[in-house]
Amino acid sequence: FLKENLNVAKQYIKLPSSAETGQALDVKRGEGKLAKVNGEEVAVFHDQDGGFVSLSPVCTHLGCIVHWNRLEESWDCPCHGSRFRPDGEVIEGPALSPLPRKHEQSGS
């Protein structure tokens, strides 16, 4: 119990650093990654059509940083288990609101 609570606290204060993030153009199709875009930390998904969707990486439940789950192809919150589709829509809560969109670039 204590270990999990410490992990939750760590997630609240942890924002991804540049060393931990990839660049948006380095994201393969069908993959998501935390990246810095125009100086802003974002959750980037590269769709199968070649477009990019950039979302806030901050879970709308209580503010933890989401991580890409490549097996489920979802953005998952490590704090309370919220899951989001690649486009930011909620799959399951406790979050009720989608991840806000930051930038969008269509495929070529």
pLDDT of res. 4? 52
pTM: 0.73
Percentage, residues of the chain above pLDDT 70 = 71
Q: Please state, in angstroms and rounded to a whole number, the distance separating the CA atoms of residues 39 and 36.
A: 6
Ordered by start, the domain boundaries in the chain are 2-105
Whether the per-residue pLDDT at 82 is higher than 60: the answer is: yes
pLDDT of res. 22? 46
> Taking the domain 2-105, which CATH number applies?
2.102.10.10
Summarize the confidence of residues 77-104 as an average pLDDT. 93
The whole-chain average pLDDT of the chain stands at: 80
Whether the per-residue pLDDT at 103 is higher than 70: the answer is: no
